Amino acid sequence: MTNPLPTGATIGILGGGQLGRMLSVAASRLGFKCHIFEPGANPPAGHVADAVTTASYEDDAALRAFADAVDVITYEFENIPTSALDLLETLRPIRPGREALRVSQDRLVEKEFLAGLGLKTAPFADVASRADLDTAMETAGVPGILKTRRFGYDGKGQARIMEVSDADAAFEAMAGAPAILEGFVDFSHEVSVIAARGVNGEVACFDPGENVHRDGILHTTTLPARLSGAQRTDAVLLAGQILNALDYVGVMGVELFVTPKGLIVNEIAPRVHNSGHWTQDGCVVDQFEQHIRAVAGWPLGDGSRHSNVEMLNLIGDDMDQVPELAKDPAVALHLYGKAEVKAGRKMGHANRVLGAA
Amino acid sequence: MTNPLPTGATIGILGGGQLGRMLSVAASRLGFKCHIFEPGANPPAGHVADAVTTASYEDDAALRAFADAVDVITYEFENIPTSALDLLETLRPIRPGREALRVSQDRLVEKEFLAGLGLKTAPFADVASRADLDTAMETAGVPGILKTRRFGYDGKGQARIMEVSDADAAFEAMAGAPAILEGFVDFSHEVSVIAARGVNGEVACFDPGENVHRDGILHTTTLPARLSGAQRTDAVLLAGQILNALDYVGVMGVELFVTPKGLIVNEIAPRVHNSGHWTQDGCVVDQFEQHIRAVAGWPLGDGSRHSNVEMLNLIGDDMDQVPELAKDPAVALHLYGKAEVKAGRKMGHANRVLGAA
């Protein structure tokens, strides 16, 4: 058992976006300081962090100085260059660990990992070449979605194949990147479990939220989700199975399709997750503090919910709604302080508290 | 009507303690950056602020540079040197304004202001000399408390006069500072109203909390307080009267004694207040965000409470309780990141969520 990190210690966070920002705020509630490592200028997390390193992930000297300045390292996104991790892990603990990153950085590896645990996934097939795609359409089925194996998020790096004749265009859209074909799943709705595991193996889950997407980006998450008691139990059990198999430390987002035949795992994210933002206004310990507690070796919150919540993402000029949302006494605003509004950019979110859970 | 401060703007905060720290975190939720001005090194607020100026309140150049860097100025404590305010107010709006500071910086002026509004206070008398104290004991009564007019907090600068023979020692304890004698009030318990007023005159109050002190320092605040409906209404009305009389902008803490003859105003604080910390885990918009909303010209939260809460201050080695408190799923911890534990120092607080309000 690792000793808990004492209050006053410094947590290093790779990535300075809104997730790092909200992690830093949560860490401050436990008396921790945060140090952000981010290549881009003026990162949102920097506004509420004790220190910021602005450097490339290829800058070994900057990585070393960052590691020297912190007690433990975590991250807000999964696509951290392997070379940076190779260096950092010789200097400080990285939580969650490398195995979670290895699995979640590659859609094919992830699907094989999940299937290996006996969990249901969408039918899938490896697509390394145009010829592979023809075979894949037979095994994984059409309609389906062709996705790059790596570096996809928010619907980027994806092409739909509604019929076999879409195959050429879809393959072109991958621009030569290794891909995976995922067959469509006939699901009624999507939910996600925000699960956490501590350094001592303790697991805690927040109640699943129900997600609605728009244009491939999360639009709302609503609590409670439409799920039977048995489905809720299944969701928690399978999340626990994933965390234990990875010897995971931290918060993970697990997206699930709800189908008549049971829950199907869509994807996992080894970090705090947009579909867990509702916890900020529905729980005593939110997903951000839960993650900090886990990586710091502290006891986890139990995930219980005091209030029902609808989380609404504010994307691009959804920011025009802020003056109205600010007047609504049931709405908690969470804006990210991004300098420029851009189409498709996550600018903030609004948690509408719907009443006692 | 002033235009609301746009998200992305910078709020200057005079004082870098725990109140500034929690103001900075709350400001980040609305997309604001905070710049802290604090003479002391390593201020708790600096861990979660975009910028920190470490300089004396006598350093005009530093004050000017600070004002240039921010859009509006607020503060976390009332004893800001007048000369600094004289300079700053020529450069940027200061909210709450000077009148609130003038009144609350001096216990005698404050009592006279409250009495002038027709509000009940403890009996009081000005004590500028030893001879004044004899007269004061007759008019304000014995037992009573002799207090310095200025710079007192958390029971500092106070001496009890239980009988007339205590007068010499009490007067000595003031060390020549102008003082005020306050006669004892026969009260059953103390409550406080955390009230806010916006730039457009809008007023919103949180439900009063019930305070218990230990050794002159706040120990717990519990919601709901023991108050009748009529007393709750009185508390809100008198808080509104105070805010309106001062043309106040921001959050104010109003401490009230509950007596058989009605509510008696103990003291007012022109800032967020320790007895309002419960709002962080009981309300959609907490006192810190409420203050930021007010000084930024945004709409106020309505002050409604979703959960009952008991706030427990962690003073000095109460920090030893943190490992146990961290295991309690009903407890939200708020630690201040202060480097050194000292007797009597406020190190953090714990909000125990007691269930739906």
d(CA A143, CA A160): 8
Residues of A in contact with B34 (CB under 8 A): 47
Q: Is B89 annotated as a binding residue?
A: no
Nearest to B96 by CA among B213, B244, B206: B244
pLDDT at B2: 66
3 state SS of A254:
strand
Span B343-356, pLDDT tens digits: 999 999 999 999 99
Across the interface, whether the CB atoms of A306 and B307 are under 8 A apart is answered yes
- The yes/no answer on whether domain B10-94 falls in CATH 3.40.50.620 is no
Residues of B in contact with A356 (CB under 8 A): 306, 356
> Domain limits of chain A?
10-94, 123-183, 189-356
The residue assigned the tokens 């959804």 is: A318
- Min Cα–Cα distance to chain B from A280, Å: 10
> How many residues comprise chain A?
357
Residue A276 clears pLDDT 70, i.e. is over it: yes
Residues of A in contact with B29 (CB under 8 A): 332-335
| pLDDT confidence bin for A216, thresholds 50/70/90 | confident
> Mean pLDDT of all residues in chain B?
96
Q: What does the pLDDT average to over A309-336?
A: 97
Across the interface, whether the CB atoms of A337 and B8 are under 8 A apart is answered yes
Q: Is A338 annotated as a binding residue?
A: no
| pLDDT confidence bin for B157, thresholds 50/70/90 | confident
- Min Cα–Cα distance to chain A from B328, Å: 8
d(CA B319, CA B325): 10
Span A170-213, pLDDT tens digits: 999 999 999 999 999 999 999 999 999 999 999 999 999 999 99
Question: Can B10-94 and B189-356 be said to share one CATH topology?
Answer: no
The two structure tokens encoding residue A146: 């062709």
Domain boundaries A189-356, corresponding CATH code: 3.30.470.20
pLDDT at A1: 47
Across the interface, whether the CB atoms of A33 and B337 are under 8 A apart is answered yes
| pLDDT confidence bin for B275, thresholds 50/70/90 | very high
pLDDT > 70 fraction of chain A, expressed in percent and rounded: 98
| pLDDT confidence bin for B1, thresholds 50/70/90 | very low
> Mean pLDDT of all residues in chain A?
96
Q: Is A3 annotated as a binding residue?
A: no
Task: Compare all CA atoms of chain A with the CA of B349 and give the residue at the minimum distance.
Answer: A29
3 state SS of A301:
coil
- Min Cα–Cα distance to chain A from B329, Å: 5
Exposed/middle/buried for residue A6 (C-beta within 10 Å: 0-12, 13-18, 19+): exposed
d(CA B39, CA B345): 18
Residues of B in contact with A355 (CB under 8 A): 306
pLDDT at B155: 65
- Min Cα–Cα distance to chain A from B112, Å: 36
Residues of A in contact with B335 (CB under 8 A): 7, 29-31
pLDDT at A33: 98
Q: Is A20 annotated as a binding residue?
A: no
The residue assigned the tokens 């005009």 is: B60
Span A127-167, pLDDT tens digits: 999 999 999 999 999 999 999 999 866 667 899 999 999 99
User: In Å, what is the CA distance from B220 to each residue of A43, A331, B184, B190, B255?
Assistant: 38, 28, 22, 11, 14
- The yes/no answer on whether domain A123-183 falls in CATH 3.30.1490.20 is yes
Q: What does the pLDDT average to over A7-32?
A: 98
Nearest to A40 by CA among A77, A72, A91: A77
pLDDT at A339: 87
Strand partners, A126: A180
